[in-house]
Protein backbone atom coordinates (compact mmCIF):
# COMPACT_ATOMS: atom_id res chain seq x y z
CA UNK A 1 0.00 0.00 0.00
CA UNK A 2 1.04 3.61 -0.46
CA UNK A 3 1.66 5.93 2.50
CA UNK A 4 2.83 9.54 2.80
CA UNK A 5 5.46 9.53 5.54
CA UNK A 6 7.51 12.05 7.48
CA UNK A 7 11.02 10.69 7.20
CA UNK A 8 12.59 13.60 9.03
CA UNK A 9 11.29 16.97 10.28
CA UNK A 10 10.88 19.87 7.87
CA UNK A 11 11.38 17.70 4.81
CA UNK A 12 8.73 16.92 2.17
CA UNK A 13 6.64 13.86 2.92
CA UNK A 14 7.77 10.81 0.98
CA UNK A 15 5.38 8.43 -0.76
CA UNK A 16 6.42 4.98 0.36
CA UNK A 17 5.32 1.46 -0.53
CA UNK A 18 4.53 -0.41 2.67
CA UNK A 19 3.17 -3.85 3.31
CA UNK A 20 -0.59 -3.75 3.88
CA UNK A 21 -1.15 -4.62 7.55
CA UNK A 22 -3.03 -7.75 8.54
CA UNK A 23 -5.34 -7.87 11.57
CA UNK A 24 -5.32 -10.32 14.44
CA UNK A 25 -7.34 -10.60 17.62
CA UNK A 26 -9.23 -7.35 18.22
CA UNK A 27 -7.48 -5.44 15.44
CA UNK A 28 -9.25 -3.85 12.50
CA UNK A 29 -7.88 -2.69 9.15
CA UNK A 30 -9.59 0.46 7.91
CA UNK A 31 -9.40 1.48 4.27
CA UNK A 32 -8.92 5.24 4.46
CA UNK A 33 -11.54 7.33 2.66
CA UNK A 34 -10.63 10.72 4.15
CA UNK A 35 -7.93 12.07 6.45
CA UNK A 36 -7.82 15.56 7.91
CA UNK A 37 -4.84 17.85 8.38
CA UNK A 38 -4.59 18.99 11.99
CA UNK A 39 -2.21 21.60 13.36
CA UNK A 40 -0.69 18.76 15.38
CA UNK A 41 0.32 17.19 12.07
CA UNK A 42 2.26 20.37 11.32
CA UNK A 43 3.97 20.18 14.70
CA UNK A 44 4.86 16.58 13.95
CA UNK A 45 6.30 17.65 10.60
CA UNK A 46 8.22 20.52 12.25
CA UNK A 47 9.61 18.11 14.83
CA UNK A 48 8.06 19.67 17.90
CA UNK A 49 6.39 22.59 19.62
CA UNK A 50 7.59 26.15 20.08
CA UNK A 51 6.83 26.83 23.76
CA UNK A 52 8.09 30.41 23.64
CA UNK A 53 11.12 32.00 25.29
CA UNK A 54 13.34 30.02 22.94
CA UNK A 55 12.09 26.67 24.26
CA UNK A 56 11.37 23.97 21.69
CA UNK A 57 9.85 20.66 22.79
CA UNK A 58 10.92 17.91 20.42
CA UNK A 59 8.34 15.23 19.66
CA UNK A 60 11.13 12.66 19.76
CA UNK A 61 11.56 13.54 23.45
CA UNK A 62 7.93 12.47 23.90
CA UNK A 63 8.46 9.11 22.22
CA UNK A 64 7.75 9.82 18.54
CA UNK A 65 9.96 7.89 16.15
CA UNK A 66 10.60 8.81 12.53
CA UNK A 67 9.78 7.78 9.88
CA UNK A 68 6.09 7.90 10.73
CA UNK A 69 2.87 8.10 8.77
CA UNK A 70 0.92 11.09 10.13
CA UNK A 71 -2.84 11.57 10.15
CA UNK A 72 -5.00 11.08 13.24
CA UNK A 73 -8.25 12.44 11.76
CA UNK A 74 -9.45 9.37 9.89
CA UNK A 75 -12.66 8.15 8.30
CA UNK A 76 -12.84 4.97 6.24
CA UNK A 77 -14.46 1.63 5.68
CA UNK A 78 -13.68 -1.59 7.52
CA UNK A 79 -11.55 -3.71 5.19
CA UNK A 80 -10.52 -6.63 7.43
CA UNK A 81 -11.13 -7.70 11.02
CA UNK A 82 -9.35 -9.94 13.49
CA UNK A 83 -10.89 -13.13 14.84
CA UNK A 84 -12.04 -11.53 18.11
CA UNK A 85 -13.64 -8.42 16.64
CA UNK A 86 -17.26 -7.67 17.54
CA UNK A 87 -19.70 -4.87 16.73
CA UNK A 88 -18.12 -3.88 13.40
CA UNK A 89 -18.14 -5.67 10.07
CA UNK A 90 -16.36 -5.43 6.75
CA UNK A 91 -17.85 -2.54 4.80
CA UNK A 92 -18.92 -0.43 7.79
CA UNK A 93 -18.13 3.27 7.47
CA UNK A 94 -16.26 4.30 10.61
CA UNK A 95 -14.63 7.21 12.37
CA UNK A 96 -11.35 6.32 14.09
CA UNK A 97 -10.69 7.46 17.65
CA UNK A 98 -6.90 7.97 17.65
CA UNK A 99 -6.06 8.87 21.28
CA UNK A 100 -4.90 5.45 22.38
CA UNK A 101 -2.93 4.65 25.53
CA UNK A 102 -0.74 1.73 26.47
CA UNK A 103 -3.55 0.33 28.59
CA UNK A 104 -1.83 -0.34 31.89
CA UNK A 105 -1.25 3.02 33.57
CA UNK A 106 -3.73 4.48 36.11
CA UNK A 107 -5.14 6.90 33.51
CA UNK A 108 -5.81 4.12 31.03
CA UNK A 109 -7.39 1.87 33.63
CA UNK A 110 -9.66 4.74 34.63
CA UNK A 111 -10.81 5.05 31.03
CA UNK A 112 -8.74 8.15 30.27
CA UNK A 113 -6.41 6.82 27.61
CA UNK A 114 -6.00 10.33 26.19
CA UNK A 115 -4.07 11.17 29.40
CA UNK A 116 -1.70 8.19 29.16
CA UNK A 117 1.93 8.92 30.04
CA UNK A 118 3.10 6.52 27.33
CA UNK A 119 0.58 7.19 24.54
CA UNK A 120 0.19 5.09 21.40
CA UNK A 121 -1.87 7.61 19.48
CA UNK A 122 -2.54 6.79 15.84
CA UNK A 123 -0.77 9.15 13.48
CA UNK A 124 1.77 10.17 16.11
CA UNK A 125 3.21 7.21 17.96
CA UNK A 126 2.09 4.67 15.38
CA UNK A 127 1.35 4.98 11.69
CA UNK A 128 -1.77 6.95 10.83
CA UNK A 129 -4.19 7.83 8.09
CA UNK A 130 -2.02 9.36 5.36
CA UNK A 131 -2.06 5.95 3.79
CA UNK A 132 -4.36 3.67 1.88
CA UNK A 133 -4.99 1.58 4.98
CA UNK A 134 -4.51 1.99 8.72
CA UNK A 135 -4.43 -0.63 11.46
CA UNK A 136 -6.58 0.13 14.50
CA UNK A 137 -5.48 -1.88 17.58
CA UNK A 138 -9.01 -2.52 18.88
CA UNK A 139 -12.50 -2.27 17.46
CA UNK A 140 -13.58 -0.18 20.48
CA UNK A 141 -11.77 2.77 18.88
CA UNK A 142 -14.19 2.81 15.95
CA UNK A 143 -17.51 4.65 15.72
CA UNK A 144 -19.94 3.78 12.96
CA UNK A 145 -21.12 6.85 11.10
CA UNK A 146 -23.70 7.36 8.40
CA UNK A 147 -25.24 10.29 6.61
CA UNK A 148 -22.19 12.49 7.15
CA UNK A 149 -19.83 14.10 4.68
CA UNK A 150 -16.71 11.99 5.11
CA UNK A 151 -14.26 14.86 4.67
CA UNK A 152 -16.08 16.95 7.27
CA UNK A 153 -16.40 14.01 9.68
CA UNK A 154 -12.65 13.45 9.97
CA UNK A 155 -12.17 16.13 12.64
CA UNK A 156 -14.97 14.87 14.90
CA UNK A 157 -12.61 12.69 16.96
CA UNK A 158 -10.11 15.54 17.28
CA UNK A 159 -11.23 19.18 17.39
CA UNK A 160 -14.85 18.05 17.59
CA UNK A 161 -14.25 16.15 20.83
CA UNK A 162 -12.01 18.91 22.16
CA UNK A 163 -14.75 21.52 21.83
CA UNK A 164 -17.58 19.25 22.96
CA UNK A 165 -15.75 17.92 26.01
CA UNK A 166 -14.59 21.37 27.10
CA UNK A 167 -18.08 22.85 26.95
CA UNK A 168 -19.73 19.77 28.44
CA UNK A 169 -17.42 19.85 31.45
CA UNK A 170 -17.51 23.60 31.95
CA UNK A 171 -21.25 24.15 31.84
CA UNK A 172 -21.39 22.65 35.33
CA UNK A 173 -18.86 25.17 36.65
CA UNK A 174 -20.67 28.19 38.15
CA UNK A 175 -17.94 30.68 37.19
CA UNK A 176 -18.05 29.55 33.56
CA UNK A 177 -21.84 29.81 33.42
CA UNK A 178 -21.61 33.31 34.90
CA UNK A 179 -19.01 34.29 32.32
CA UNK A 180 -21.14 32.91 29.50
CA UNK A 181 -24.18 34.81 30.73
CA UNK A 182 -22.10 37.98 30.85
CA UNK A 183 -21.08 37.46 27.24
CA UNK A 184 -24.66 36.95 26.13
CA UNK A 185 -25.77 39.97 28.17
CA UNK A 186 -23.38 42.12 26.20
CA UNK A 187 -20.63 42.59 28.78
CA UNK A 188 -16.98 42.60 27.79
CA UNK A 189 -15.62 39.05 27.86
CA UNK A 190 -13.61 36.69 25.64
CA UNK A 191 -15.27 35.65 22.39
CA UNK A 192 -16.85 32.21 22.35
CA UNK A 193 -16.48 30.27 19.11
CA UNK A 194 -19.72 30.26 17.19
CA UNK A 195 -19.84 26.50 16.81
CA UNK A 196 -20.34 26.20 20.60
CA UNK A 197 -23.59 28.18 20.58
CA UNK A 198 -25.66 25.26 19.29
CA UNK A 199 -24.45 23.23 22.27
CA UNK A 200 -25.35 26.05 24.68
CA UNK A 201 -28.90 26.26 23.34
CA UNK A 202 -29.29 22.49 23.52
CA UNK A 203 -28.46 22.75 27.24
CA UNK A 204 -31.01 25.51 27.80
CA UNK A 205 -28.36 28.04 28.87
CA UNK A 206 -29.42 30.74 26.44
CA UNK A 207 -33.07 30.23 27.30
CA UNK A 208 -32.40 30.71 31.03
CA UNK A 209 -30.94 34.20 30.67
CA UNK A 210 -33.08 37.09 31.81
CA UNK A 211 -31.59 40.29 30.46
CA UNK A 212 -32.77 43.86 30.90
CA UNK A 213 -30.12 45.24 28.57
CA UNK A 214 -31.88 45.90 25.26
CA UNK A 215 -28.85 45.32 23.06
CA UNK A 216 -27.86 42.20 24.96
CA UNK A 217 -31.39 40.84 24.63
CA UNK A 218 -31.32 41.64 20.91
CA UNK A 219 -28.06 39.66 20.57
CA UNK A 220 -29.54 36.63 22.32
CA UNK A 221 -32.67 36.71 20.19
CA UNK A 222 -30.64 37.01 17.01
CA UNK A 223 -28.53 34.00 18.02
CA UNK A 224 -31.70 32.02 18.75
CA UNK A 225 -33.16 32.92 15.37
CA UNK A 226 -30.03 31.91 13.53
CA UNK A 227 -29.88 28.56 15.32
CA UNK A 228 -33.48 27.55 14.56
CA UNK A 229 -33.88 24.72 14.01
CA UNK A 230 -31.14 23.75 16.44
CA UNK A 231 -29.94 20.93 14.17
CA UNK A 232 -28.91 23.24 11.30
CA UNK A 233 -25.27 22.86 10.32
CA UNK A 234 -23.03 25.89 10.58
CA UNK A 235 -22.08 27.16 7.18
CA UNK A 236 -20.32 30.21 5.82
CA UNK A 237 -23.47 32.32 5.92
CA UNK A 238 -24.54 31.52 9.49
CA UNK A 239 -20.98 31.65 10.82
CA UNK A 240 -20.31 35.06 9.25
CA UNK A 241 -23.61 36.37 10.62
CA UNK A 242 -22.83 35.21 14.15
CA UNK A 243 -19.34 36.67 14.03
CA UNK A 244 -20.70 39.97 12.74
CA UNK A 245 -23.33 40.16 15.48
CA UNK A 246 -20.98 39.27 18.32
CA UNK A 247 -17.95 41.27 17.24
CA UNK A 248 -20.00 44.36 16.40
CA UNK A 249 -21.51 44.34 19.86
CA UNK A 250 -18.31 43.53 21.79
CA UNK A 251 -16.37 46.21 19.89
> Does residue 156 lie in a domain region?
no
Dihedral, CA atoms, 211, 217, 222, 228, nearest 10 degrees?
Answer: 30
Q: Are residues 108 and 222 in the same domain?
A: no
Q: Are residues 130 and 231 in the same domain?
A: no
CA dist 198 → 176, 182, 183, 203, 217 (Å): 17, 18, 15, 9, 17
CA 227 to chain centre: 22
Q: Are residues 119 and 42 in the same domain?
A: yes
CA dist 196 → 19, 104, 200 (Å): 42, 34, 6
Segment (H or E) for 175: helix 174-184
Q: Are residues 142 and 180 in the same domain?
A: no
> Does residue 133 lie in a domain region?
yes
The domain in which residue 202 lies consists of: 163-250
The number of domains in the chain is 2
pLDDT tens, 65-91? 999 999 999 999 999 999 999 999 999
Q: Are residues 167 and 143 in the same domain?
A: no
Which residue did the predictor score with more confidence, 102 or 237?
Answer: 102
> Does residue 169 lie in a domain region?
yes
> Does residue 157 lie in a domain region?
no
Helices (H) and strands (E) in the chain, counts: 9, 9
Q: Are residues 179 and 128 in the same domain?
A: no
What's the whole-number average pLDDT of the chain?
A: 80
Amino acid sequence: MKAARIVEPNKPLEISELETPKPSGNEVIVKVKAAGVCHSDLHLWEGGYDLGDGTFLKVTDRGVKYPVTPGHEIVGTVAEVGNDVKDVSVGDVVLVYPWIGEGECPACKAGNENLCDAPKSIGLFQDGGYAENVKVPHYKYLAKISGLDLDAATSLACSGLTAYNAVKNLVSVPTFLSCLKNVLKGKKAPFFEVNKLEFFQNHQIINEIEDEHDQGRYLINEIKNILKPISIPLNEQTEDKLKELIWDYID
